[in-house]
Structure 1
């Protein structure tokens, strides 16, 4: 066994010597080759990183679109019962003999619709008449002479209501101001 172990050790030493001889024989070529290999590795790494980033952008863009579609789907599902109520109200209007019950039914549907929208974060701009004009929340569509001195530069009429969605303006109120 000792003889076998000695032979194995001699072979290992011979392979180590031959490897070190190879390394010392080509010092100029290995430095250039090593730099060339590093450049190739860096270019490969850059290309892979760029491709990964491009895939990341595409994936996040697709996820964002899917999230928006899913959010709108949830809101539409909540509005569908109100649409059914409107259909029933229209059908009832065709056969109704009196206006009062139809009016009451439409008012109930309107309240249900407003409550559903409020639950989704929609809030109406309220009590604008008589308030000072604020360009951050309102859009002046016209200015008329103020009926009284205290209504100058204040809102006289609201032509179209404004709305907030989670405290952010999504539609400016269209107003008439006094001058």
Structure 2
């Protein structure tokens, strides 16, 4: 069994492979959904000296134990759920709850409230059904600020929402008029 620290390192490397630079390692992802077979991922992982002994079972454990639920396994295929830097993954539009949350930091709050939420080099803006995942995402770069997103108003303004799984919703952008600072 892997230690927690080793699981975190493997999760980060899997993120790099499945979300950011698969081509750098010769991993070919399906252009429709960003997936590959578990065997293909394993064959790339074991080429890295640190991961030469990793097993499919350990990959599966990382997938199920990852707090942010970054990965998804369906049958013999694995993919990153969201955040891809390579070919844009498409999702079916859906109807989110009336309020979603976005975590950010105080340093950029004024720009967000003026310009709205933009994908900023990602494929989509990431939103959460609850404050937990939004807090995890927003606390990485400074003082955490949580925003609420009025999805009804945003939808009326033409914003499409896409469900990525595990309480995560995606959008191309969110107008500033649909945002408020969350004060529990």
When you count helix as a share of all residues, which structure comes out higher? 1
Which has more radius of gyration?
1
Q: Relative contact order, CA 8 A, sep 6+: which one is greater?
A: 2
Q: Which structure has the highest strand share of the two?
A: 2
**TM-score with structure 1 setting the length:** 0.25
Q: TM-score, normalised by structure 2?
A: 0.25
